[in-house]
Structure 1
Amino acid sequence: MKVTVFMIIVGIIFLCIFVGLLTLIVRALLKYIHSKDVRQEKSVVRKSLGEALKVHRTQCKMTQEFVAETIGVSRQAVSKWENGVSHS
């Protein structure tokens, strides 16, 4: 009798844990699905900031290499920023 009661309690605990994890997974998926607009907006902002960087850099007659060395990054990083490719 004690073993079956113990097994029922353990089963209920595992069921609660499973339902809790399933709930968290569903909520995370819903949040990801609804974040599409935010991801697109970040992409637009990244692109516009890169364009502003490029315009300012060219107006000041600076090379990507000069900007990169000045701020301590690679020239490729500056290029990615200007083209809106960087994911950081």
Structure 2
Amino acid sequence: MSETLLFDMMRQALLIAVRISAPMLVVALVAGMIIGLFQALTSIQEMTLTFVPKVGLMLAVFWVSMSFMTTALSDFYVGQIIPLIAGD
């Protein structure tokens, strides 16, 4: 395996990791901003108010985007990693 091939595979793997994690991270960011704004406007400083909705929304987004995540990861392995291991 050449050095350029290794770096290209690492770049593609990192890109897949970003694509897979982006939906959950975006939802956590948006929910955190909305809840933080709500807390600042109402002066409510309850810790469970930030934790419970973010976890619930992240679980919902994970459940909805699970097929996309599985497809993206399996396509990467089938298209890139397995042929590299098999030597094709």
**Shorter chain as normaliser: what TM range?**
0.3 to 0.5
| Higher gyration radius (CA) | 1
* Larger RCO (CA within 8 A; separation ≥ 6): 2
Q: Which structure's residues are more often helix, by fraction?
A: 2
Query: Normalising to structure 2: TM-score of the pair?
Result: 0.41
Normalising by the residue count of structure 1, what TM-score does the alignment of the two structures yield? 0.41
